[in-house]
Homo-oligomer: A and B are copies of this chain.
Amino acid sequence: MGKPSDAQEKLLQVAFDLIWNNSYGAVSVDQICERARVNKGSFYHFFPSKADLAVAAYEEHWREKQPELDRIFSPQVSPLERLERWCQYIYDRQKQKAEKYGHVCGCPYASIGVELATQDEKIRAKAEELVERNIRYVESALTEAQRQGLVSIDDPKVAAERVYAVALGMVLHAKVRNDLGPLRQLQPTIMDLIGAKAVAA
């Protein structure tokens, strides 16, 4: 197969990083190619357009991060502890990015979704899909927590959307303030919201 290389994978990773740290509109195909050390022609051999690359890059990023979410939401630990771990994961991830780049980078799915929801239907749909997949994790924990009488919620599906909205909102607020402060309220707010009867250490 000619000259196989890691060009495609490199493009996906570089594109995701650049778009997350900046924005879709502010990152050019030339920039992505340069950073990935790939020629323009190769780019368009793999992807029909910049938008298609973005969709593929975000799907690939999910694929890579999914095992970590599976671990966080492992049925091995109690449902409330899963949520607690998830809050910690969000904080740690934002902190790591903020220290590395000097800016709070926010939720990658939400950022590209908000930027392009009204302009590019393919990207909007992918962002929606990724957000919904995240909500499913929260929902599973809440369903189990409800069964165990650990929380006072009605519909776990609705409660999961509420909980996820808190996370989205606080991460967004942190990005706009460029300050991780608001994220310290994430766990207590969520626990209050679902009426958690006991919070693990």
Contact = CB atoms under 8 A, between A and B. Distances in A.
Q: Interface residues of A toward B: which range? A: 35 or more
A114 B117 contact: no
B110 A176 contact: yes
Does more than half of chain A's interface fall in helix, strand or loop, or is it mixed?
helix
Interface centre among A110, A111, A172 (most CB of B within 10 A): A172
B104 A117 contact: yes
Total copies of the chain: 2
Interface centre among A110, A118, A162 (most CB of B within 10 A): A118
Given A114-B114, A119-B23, A119-B26, A161 B176 contact: no
Nearest to A135: B173
A166 interface: yes
A172 B113 CA distance: 9
Interface of A: 21-26, 101, 103-106, 109-111, 113-119, 124, 127-128, 131, 158, 161-162, 164-170, 172-173, 175-178, 182, 185, 189, 192-193
Given A25-B26, A104-B118, A109-B176, 9 more contacts: A104-B117, A106-B117, A117-B178, A118-B175, A124-B176, A165-B172, A165-B173, A165-B189, A166-B166
8 contacts: A25-B25, A114-B176, A161-B182, A165-B172, A165-B173, A168-B173, A169-B170, A172-B172
